[in-house]
């Protein structure tokens, strides 16, 4: 019956009403088939042909039996050869249908995935903050697979069953009206009962599966954090927890098994009972010479076909609900407004690097009632270096994110070279800003690929030079694979300081007009910090630079320092000015660090 590739139907989808409107909306996604429509139509023709020829089996099988008992105009040999020929043709039809549909559905799904992904990756930051990565991935994988199931399987199945049903009933009516009426009174009721029973059992086994999944969470969590379990010597506590979870699984599984047993008995008794009833009625008709044995054979076979078709149609509604849900989730992404257009080319522009924040207020879209910046104003001349300092959570990283235009402001404006950042093409703007972020996360590939991310067309010599300037060359060459070292998922195979130097190399390679260093040297030891600081000093020459630093020693030389506190600029000036400011926050922070060091 149902082939649950897309998994069980979710609660959310189950509640979905299949209305004409939602159905029509869902169909929109199938516009991706249009480029392949001729293949699709030919596939449909083959589907039709194979469904109709499959009805020849019961017909010919009955004739064969009649021929054996000396009735009917054909010989056994003729019929057997015809059956073989049909078998052959039928095989050909099915082959064509499946490969054609696969061609259409695989290509259309590739188009949908690519389209949805290119939309997704160019959506603004706020979109990603409102959704979990796993959920987005499942839209590209399981939701699209569900659509594919419909195209390559459900639709074909539905049409086949519909044809079987119509042709089958016409056929049995032709064989014997009396027996057909008898059959129709008994059979559909039993099939529907079996269907409902089956659904109930599936629900029960789903519950058992969910509980098994819950039990698995215990294992997963504890194995991942095995150090913590051991540190607290909570081994036996966890064993008990797992045991309790398993008890629940067994309780439900056994209950499901009981119903499953009852279901099988029901099928044997009722469904086969139904067939026996038709057989009995048919035999009586044969006795009265109203039917030949061959016709009864054909009749029974077609009846089984019809039963199967009714059963298959029952699952159709659930499939439809799932498809509408999947289509909605995929289309939702396609209809979001992206922040950059991947298709249009933009003219390169020149940016000198003058930056101005003018009374900027801002709240993150996910927390609209918390004002993170409350009127921030400052100016940086092209080529100047400024520093932002302040307590953790003051809003420093937020300021640079706004410069990158990751988010839109609530009030005020941010200007680059005197022009509002909103007037720039986003790609051009970001092209001229280089950032060494607070938390460096690398891609899973090689060191070379990670550095070249700053400039995809960089030569090996340029990459090497950037690594040297970032003081990363030494450790890179100390790995046996050098630049081809795989850094592991998110860069886990490198130390924090090594990752940071790769990020610096990346920024050096990008050669931007505006450079942002968000705690760029925070995970380096004193010696490497000095070396990297030298590299950064070199890198900062002639560029507008915004440095965020907790270690105040690293920012003595900047032109201007802004002390941020709770979303406001509290103090500003050069290091000397701020250090002399009595009872100032900067002076306080300086003293604290002096005491620590």
Ligand X SMILES: Nc1ncnc2c1ncn2[C@@H]1O[C@H](COP(=O)(O)OP(=O)(O)OP(=O)(O)O)[C@@H](O)[C@H]1O
Distances from the Cα of 471 to the Cα of 61, 475, 496, 550, angstroms: 82, 8, 14, 22
Query: Min. distance of Cβ 398 from ligand X in angstroms?
Result: 3
- Please, are residues 516 and 388 in contact by the beta-carbon 8 Å criterion? no
Q: DSSP letter string over 366-421?
A: TSTTS-SEEEEEEEE-TT-EEEEE-STTSSHHHHHHHHTTSS--SEEEEEETTEEG
How many whole angstroms separate alpha carbon 318 and alpha carbon 511? 56
What is the per-residue binding string for ligand X in 75-114, x denoting contact by CB under 6 A?
----------------------------------------
Nearer to ligand X, 209 or 523 (CB): 523
d(CA 563, CA 388): 6
Choose the one of ligand X, Mg ion, none that binds residue 363, judging by a C-beta under 5 to 8 angstroms depending on kind: none
The single residue among 2, 326, 372, 426 that binds ligand X, judged by CB under 6 A, is 372
Shortest distance, CB of residue 548 to Mg ion, whole angstroms? 6
Q: Of 20, 36, 29, 323, which Cα lies nearest the Cα of 153?
A: 323
Contact string (CB under 6 A) for ligand X, positions 427-446, x = contact? -----------x--------
Q: Which of 12, 129, 460, 484 binds ligand X (CB under 6 A)?
A: 129
Which of 130, 233, 289, 392 is close enough to bind ligand X by CB under 6 A? 392
Residue 130: contacted member of ligand X, Mg ion, none (CB under 5 to 8 Å, by partner type): none
- Output the smallest distance, CB 397 to Mg ion, in A: 3
Which one of ligand X, Mg ion, none interacts with residue 129, CB within 5 to 8 A by kind? ligand X
In the complex, what is the shortest distance from the CB of residue 395 to ligand X, in angstroms, rounded to a whole number? 4
Q: Which among 219-227, 395-403, 425-433, 537-545 is the span making contact with ligand X, rule CB under 6 A? A: 395-403
CB nearer ligand X, residue 128 or residue 153:
128
Question: What are φ and ψ of residue 415, in 5° steps?
Answer: -120, 145
Residue least distant from Mg ion (Cβ): 397
**Angle, helices 316-334/293-314, rounded to nearest 10 degrees:** 40
- Beta carbon of residue 12, minimum distance to ligand X (angstroms, whole number): 26
Q: Tell whether residue 366 is a contact of ligand X (CB under 6 A).
A: yes
Q: Which of 331, 396, 469, 575 binds ligand X (CB under 6 A)?
A: 396
By CB under 5 A, the count of residues binding Mg ion is 2
Is 398 a binding residue for ligand X by CB under 6 A? The answer is yes
Minimum distance from residue 537 beta carbon to ligand X (Å) = 22
Distance of closest approach, residue 391 Cβ to ligand X, in angstroms:
7
152 binds Mg ion (CB under 5 A): no
Stretch of 23-31, 392-400, 576-584, 585-593 lying at the interface with ligand X (CB under 6 A)? 392-400
- Pick one of ligand X, Mg ion, none as the site partner of residue 394 (Cβ within 5 to 8 A by kind): ligand X
CB of 591 to Mg ion, least distance (A): 22
Interaction between residue 397 and ligand X (CB under 6 A): yes
Judged by CB, which is closer to Mg ion: 522, or 531? 522
Region binding ligand X by CB under 6 A among candidate stretches 15-23, 138-146, 204-212, 394-402: 394-402
Query: Residue 163: left (phi > 0), alpha (psi -120 to 50), or beta?
Result: alpha
Euclidean distance between the first and the last CA atom of the chain, given in angstroms as a whole number: 72
CB of 538 to Mg ion, least distance (A): 24
CA distances to 13, 103, 323, 383 from 26, in Å: 13, 21, 8, 54
Rounded Cα distance between 144 and 37, Å, is 19
Q: How far apart are CA 445 and CA 468, in angstroms?
A: 20
71 binds, among ligand X, Mg ion, none (CB under 5 to 8 A by kind): none
CA angle 440/536/461 to nearest 5° reads 80
Q: Which residues touch 345 (CB under 8 Å, ≥6 apart)?
A: none
CB of 360 to ligand X, least distance (A): 12
The region of 256-264, 362-370, 460-468, 535-543 touching ligand X under the rule CB under 6 A is: 362-370
Show the tokens assigned to 438: 């607070």
Q: What share of the chain is helix, strand, coil (3-state, %, to 5)?
A: 65, 10, 25
Please enumerate in sequence order all residues whose Cβ is within 8 A of that of 502, keeping only pairs 6 or more positions apart, or say none: 440, 442, 447, 450, 451, 467, 470, 472, 487, 491, 494
Nearer to ligand X, 126 or 431 (CB): 126
Calculate the alpha carbon distances from 283 to 16, 233, 291, 493 in Å.
Answer: 47, 75, 8, 77
d(CA 7, CA 146): 9
Nearest approach in angstroms of CB 596 to ligand X is 17
| DSSP state at residue 358 | E
Q: Which stretch binds ligand X (CB under 6 A): 107-115, 391-399, 468-476, 483-491?
A: 391-399
Contacting residue, 364, 479, 523, 574, with ligand X by CB under 6 A: 364
What secondary structure, in 3-state letters, does 137-200 show?
A: HHHHHHHHHHHHHHHHHHHHHHHHHHHHHHHHHHHHHHHCHHHHHHHHHHHHHHHHHHHHHHHH
Instruction: Identify whether the C-beta of residue 375 lies closer than 8 Å to the C-beta of residue 412.
Output: yes
Question: Which of Mg ion, ligand X, none interacts with 392 (beta carbon under 5 to 8 A by kind)?
Answer: ligand X
Spell out, one character per residue from 388 to 407, where the chain touches Mg ion: x when CB under 5 A holds, - when not: ---------x----------
CB of 334 to ligand X, least distance (A): 25
Dist CA 367 CA 362 (whole Å): 10
Give dist(CA 514, CA 502) in Å, integer.
Answer: 19
Count of chain residues binding ligand X (CB under 6 A): 13
62 is an interface residue for ligand X by CB under 6 A: no
Distance between CA 511 and CA 456 in Å, rounded? 13
CB of 349 to Mg ion, least distance (A): 29
Q: Which does 453 bind (CB under 5 to 8 A by kind): ligand X, Mg ion, none?
A: none
| Sheet hosting strand 355-362, strand order edge to edge | 373-380, 355-362, 411-416, 419-420
One character per residue 426-445, x = contact with Mg ion (rule: CB under 5 A): ------------x-------
Query: Which residues fall within 8 angstroms of residue 535, CB to CB, at 6 or more apart?
Result: 469, 470, 471, 504, 508
Q: For ligand X, which residue of 208, 326, 360, 394 counts as binding (CB under 6 A)?
A: 394
Min dist. Cβ of residue 339 to ligand X (A): 16
Name the site residues for Mg ion (rule: CB under 5 A). Answer: 397, 438
Which positions lie near ligand X, rule CB under 6 A?
A: 129, 364, 366-367, 372, 392-398, 438
């Amino acid at each position: 019956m149902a082939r649950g590739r897309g998994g069980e139907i979710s609660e959310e989808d189950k509640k979905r009403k299949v209305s004409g409107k939602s159905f029509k909306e869902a169909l929109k996604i199938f516009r991706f088939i249009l480029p392949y429509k001729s293949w699709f139509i030919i596939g449909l023709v083959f589907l039709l042909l194979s469904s109709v020829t499959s009805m020849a089996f019961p017909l010919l099988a009955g004739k064969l039996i009649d021929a054996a008992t000396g009735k009917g105009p054909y010989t056994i040999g003729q019929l057997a050869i015809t059956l073989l020929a049909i078998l052959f043709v039928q095989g050909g039809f099915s082959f064509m249908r499946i490969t054609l549909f696969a061609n259409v559905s695989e290509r259309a799904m590739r188009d949908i995935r690519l389209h949805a992904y290119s939309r997704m990756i160019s959506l603004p930051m706020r979109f990603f903050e409102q959704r979990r990565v796993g959920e987005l991935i499942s839209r590209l994988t399981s939701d699209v697979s569900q659509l594919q199931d419909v195209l390559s399987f459900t639709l074909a199945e539905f049409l086949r069953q519909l044809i079987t049903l119509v042709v089958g009933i016409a056929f049995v009516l032709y064989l014997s009206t009396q027996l057909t009426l008898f059959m129709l009174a008994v059979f559909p009721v039993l099939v529907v009962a079996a269907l409902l029973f089956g659904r109930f059992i599936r629900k029960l086994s789903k519950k058992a599966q969910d509980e098994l999944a819950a039990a698995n969470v215990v294992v997963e969590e504890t194995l991942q954090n095995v150090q913590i379990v051991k540190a607290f010597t909570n081994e036996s506590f966890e064993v008990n927890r797992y045991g309790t979870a398993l008890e629940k699984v067994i309780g439900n599984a056994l209950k499901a098994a009981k119903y499953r047993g009852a279901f099988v008995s029901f099928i044997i008794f009722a469904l086969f009972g139904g067939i026996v009833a038709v057989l009995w009625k048919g035999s009586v008709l044969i006795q009265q010479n109203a039917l030949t044995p061959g016709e009864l054979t054909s009749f029974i076979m077609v009846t089984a076909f019809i039963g199967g078709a009714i059963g298959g149609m029952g699952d159709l509604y659930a499939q439809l609900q799932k498809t509408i849900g999947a289509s909605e989730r995929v289309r939702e992404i396609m209809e979001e407004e992206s922040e950059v257009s991947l298709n249009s080319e933009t003219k390169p522009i020149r940016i000198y690097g003058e930056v101005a924040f003018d009374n900027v207020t801002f709240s993150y879209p996910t927390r609209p009632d918390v004002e993170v910046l409350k009127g921030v104003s400052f100016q940086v001349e092209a080529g100047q270096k400024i520093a932002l300092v302040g307590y953790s959570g003051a809003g420093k990283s937020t300021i640079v994110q706004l410069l990158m235009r990751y988010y839109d402001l609530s009030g005020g404006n941010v200007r680059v070279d005197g022009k509002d950042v909103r007037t720039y093409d986003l790609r051009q703007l970001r092209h001229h800003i280089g950032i060494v972020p607070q938390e460096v996360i690398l891609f899973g590939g090689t060191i070379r690929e990670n550095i070249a991310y700053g400039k995809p067309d960089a030569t090996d010599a340029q990459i090497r030079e950037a690594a040297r300037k970032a003081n990363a060359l030494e450790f890179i060459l100390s790995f046996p694979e050098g630049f081809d070292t795989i850094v592991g998922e998110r860069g886990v195979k490198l130390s924090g300081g090594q990752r940071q130097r790769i990020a610096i190399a990346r920024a050096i390679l990008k050669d931007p007009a505006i450079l942002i260093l968000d705690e760029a040297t925070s995970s380096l030891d004193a010696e490497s910090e000095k070396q990297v600081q030298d590299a950064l000093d070199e890198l900062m020459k002639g560029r507008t630079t915004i440095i965020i630093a907790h270690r105040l020693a690293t920012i003595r030389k900047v032109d201007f320092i802004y002390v941020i506190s709770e979303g406001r600029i509290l103090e500003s000036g050069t290091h000397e000015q701020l250090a002399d400011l009595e009872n100032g926050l900067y002076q306080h922070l300086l003293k604290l660090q002096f005491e620590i060091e």
